Structure formats: structure tokens, C-alpha cells
Structure 1
Amino acid sequence: MHILIIENDDGVATALEQALGAHGYRTSRAATGGEAVGRIHDMDLVLLDLGLPDLDGHEVCRRIRERSCVPVIALSGRSEELERVMVLHLGADDFVLKPFSRHELMARIQALFRRARACPGHTPARLVAAPLVPPQAAAPAVAHGSGGHADRPRTQTGPLHLDPRTRKVFLDREEVRVTRKEFDLLAMLMEEPGTVMRRQAIMSQVWDENWFGSTRTLDVHVGSLRSKLGSADWIETVRGVGYRLTVPAAALVDAKAVR
């Protein structure tokens, strides 16, 4: 099975090539939209990054669909609903938000190939005839989104409490509603308050050790946590390195007042 990777980021493209190669797929790469449109013949699937330097990714998707019915998975770091809706309307078969894990991507690729085999009248013959690539031995199962914290006791840093069993966060005894990833991020930072956690380490533990894409999503989650905790001082940015959890002086004063 031959997959075309349309990605201008060398690091992401190389990681995708290695991951796909490990699963038995043959790959080719195009770094621009113009190059990609001319190379879609004889491809079994296209991975299309929407942030290309020459052509808008939506336009590339439209041109591909004009020339071929090859399955297209769009990749983007933008989470807006309009981004997903537009590219799906233009002919993409699936949309994956960056950063994403290798396991998620492989599952989506195999799902597309399964659908292709189930609908032979709408699919190129080589896709219907081609066998599915068997997945590699599965890694030990981990509860998705648990972040490995479910079996740990309740954690406290100043007036901030985190309960891994219920996956709830409390500040000054009032619950702070957080998302799954925000909880996992906060749990990691609370493991060692005051210790700098490197960006790559956070991405590997909170998202996936085989994630692809920009670490910008980490900054977004940190910003959201700061807002929910009521102060940017809770999570300190160490420029060029990562983040660490600190307890704002104002929070300590408020905690004493509550007592």
C-alpha cells in the first residue's frame, strides 16, 4: 500500500514515514501542494497537512478530489469546527487534529481501508484487493486519558487539591472543572511542584509518546488552566524549557483566610 505524505515540516514528515514504514506501508512525500497534486496517481491514500507553504490545504484537497477518488486524511493543528467542516465538504474522508498519536493515525488509516473493502463499487480495484496490514503487537492497555494517575492518592499543593480517583480538581475547596487533558497536565505538574517539566516530556506523557505535530496545543492547555485557576502565576513558563507548578502568594493568603 502506497501512502502520499503531504507535509512541509521535515520533522513531522520523517516521523510519519518511519511510523508508516514500521507498519508495512510504502510512502512518498510532497512538501508543497503543487507538487502533491501531480503525484497522486497510483497512491492508495493521502495524508494532507492543511498548513502548506504554497497552496491552501483546502484548495489542495479540492484539486485532489477533482483528479482522483483516493482516500484523503486531512491533518491540521487548528481545532475550529469550520476548518473540519470545510475540508470534509471538499472531499476529505477524515480529519485528524494535531498533535495526534501514531496509534490513532494507524487506526484511522485501517478504518478507511476497511470501508474501501466493504464498498468495492466506489473504490479503486487495487484498494479492494489489497490485504490490510496487520497491526504490530499492541502495547499494554492503559485507560485512555488516565495519564497513569488513577491509582495514586489525592494530591495537594497549597490550596490546590487533585483527586486521581474521581479526576476532580479543587481550589480552596471549590471544584474547578477541567477537561481530560487539562487534568492529566495538572497531575503531571503536581507530581513535583517547583520542578521544571520539559515540553517534550509533557507531550509524551500527557498526549502520547508517539505524538505528531506542534507543541502549540500544550500552550493552549496551559493558558486554559491558568484561567480556570484564576491566576497565571500557578504555572510558570521557563522559556525554552517548559513549565513548572508554583503556588501564588495570593493563593496562600486566601487559603489561610478560608481556614
Structure 2
Amino acid sequence: MPARILIVEDEPSICENVVYALEADGFAVATATTGREALDRMTAQTFDLIVLDVGLPDITGFEVCKAIRKTQSLPILFLTARSSEVDRVVGLEIGGDDYVVKPFSPRELVARVRAILRRVSATPLPPNAHDAAIPLVIDDVRCQAIYFGTALNLSRYEFRMLKAFAAHPGRVFSREQLMDHASEEPDASMERTVDTHIKTLRSRMRGVRAGIDPIVTHRGMGYSLLETWPDA
């Protein structure tokens, strides 16, 4: 069954191009032209990913994202004419998985949609990844992090940060170093974005093992991953 994508875009020409590109690649596509229509559609139907315009006529895409994140964790790809650093950071901080800046190539958008869906797909994991006795396994092929046998639902930035931590347990990474590992455009990121992603990582990992705080804060220096794992 093809993945279902909801396109939330009020400009007809852009919406048509996106729909055409995704359907040509085998996706099942539905559309909405306002934020409220999108939220209504999500109540009535199930989707695997949302392509969400930031500049909608009723409420902003950021507001739609916040509303979605109250009840669902499905991936969100922002479409935006806003290329400034602050707007991109805000979109990622409130729960977006990726963004594409207008004007964009439909082929690039399809590639980003496929990359996100591969990351969050329920593809069977390697046998050792299911071993709950192993605290943290990084599956590079599927771009997944498995924590005590449970696959974590991470953004690509969070996955890359956790991968860097896992490769060097106990090493203290500065925020700048973590941005270098996580982003293709580290100079366009903000240090506070790292803090936001670390907060999300901690929350998701504590959701699996509440008794363990796996990421250590080193004030004035950065963060590290535990070298030894306590019982929990």
C-alpha cells in the first residue's frame, strides 16, 4: 500500500506540481488549502507524512505543526518562502523534520520525502538491535537508533547527534561540534537549536528507560553520552 501524503498548500500551481511529482513517484496524495482544513482531514484520515506550507491564509504552518504535535508524531516537511535562519530554526524546534525553501525542485522534495519515510519506516531491524541488553545500537542502513531494544522516533538532526555520541561514549562534544555533525549547514544553525534537540533526545530516551539520564550536561563545555549504563 503506498504511503499517504497530505499536501497543505494554498498556491494552486505549487500544489499541482507537488501532487504530480509525488503521485508520479507512487505516493497516494491528498490536499488541503488551509490549516484548519488540514487538521480536519487529519481527524478523518490517517497520513504517513505532511508537506506543510508555512504561509497559509488562515493560520500559519507553525501553528498547524504545534497542533499536530499535541496528538501525533508523524513526519512534517515544511514548505516555506522564508529562507532566514530564524524561520528555519523555529520550524525544526517546534517539531518539523525537514524543510524546503521556495522555489524548489519537485524532484528534491520527493527525495526528501522518501528519506524521511525511510527513517521512520517500520522496516525490520538487524537481529542485534532487538537485544534489550544492549543499551544503544545505531543502525546506519535504516538511519535508526535502537535504545534498549526500542527504535527511537528521531529527526535526522537528533539521529546524527546521537550517532556522534554513540561513536565516542564519554567524550564531551561542544554545541558547535554537535552542529557540525548534525547539519549540512552548521553555520546557519543556532546553538540553542542543539539544546532543543538534546532536550528531545533525553525525553525520547527516558520514555524507554525513565530511570536513566543517558546524556550528561557539562556546563560551559557541552554534552556527552554515558560511558557505563546503570541498571534501571
Q: TM-score, normalised by structure 1?
A: 0.46
Tell me the alpha carbon deviations over residues 176-233 of structure 1, each in whole angstroms, 9 at most, x when there is no partner: xxxxxxxxxxxxxxxxxxxxxxxxxxxxxxxxxxxxxxxxxxxxxxxxxxxxxxxxxx
Aligned equivalent of 1:166: none
Aligned equivalent of 1:75: 79
Kindly indicate whether residue 124 of structure 2 is the aligned counterpart of residue 94 of structure 1: no
Give unmatched runs, 5+ long, in structure 1.
Answer: 124-259
Aligned equivalent of 2:119: 115
Give unmatched runs, 5+ long, in structure 2.
Answer: 122-141, 145-149, 154-232
Aligned equivalent of 1:10: 12
Rounded to whole Å, the distance in 2 between the matches of 1:121 and 1:54 is 36
SS at the partner of 2:20? helix
Compare relative contact order (CA 8 Å, sep 6+) and give the higher one, 1 or 2: 1
Query: Which residues of 2 match residues 219-258 of structure 1 at below 5 A?
Result: none
Rounded to whole Å, the distance in 2 between the matches of 1:82 and 1:45 is 24
Rounded to whole Å, the distance in 1 between the matches of 2:5 and 2:70 is 19
- CA displacement at 1:114 relative to structure 2: 1.7
Greater C-alpha radius of gyration? 1
For residue 66 of structure 1, the aligned residue among 50, 63, 70 is: 70
SS at the partner of 1:60? helix
Percent sequence identity is 41
Count of residue correspondences: 123
Rounded to whole Å, the distance in 2 between the matches of 1:46 and 1:56 is 14
Rounded to whole Å, the distance in 1 between the matches of 2:69 and 2:80 is 18
Tell me the alpha carbon deviations over residues 36-90 of structure 1, each in whole angstroms, 9 at most, x when there is no partner: 1122241011000001000012111111111211100001011111101111111
Tell me the alpha carbon deviations over residues 146-193 of structure 1, each in whole angstroms, 9 at most, x when there is no partner: xxxxxxxxxxxxxxxxxxxxxxxxxxxxxxxxxxxxxxxxxxxxxxxx
Give the superposed CA RMSD. Answer: 1.4
- CA displacement at 1:11 relative to structure 2: 1.3
**Are the counterparts in 1 of residues 17 and 106 from structure 2 also a CA contact under 8 Å?**
no
SS at the partner of 1:75? strand
For residue 110 of structure 2, the aligned residue among 89, 106, 112 is: 106
For residue 19 of structure 1, the aligned residue among 18, 21, 24 is: 21
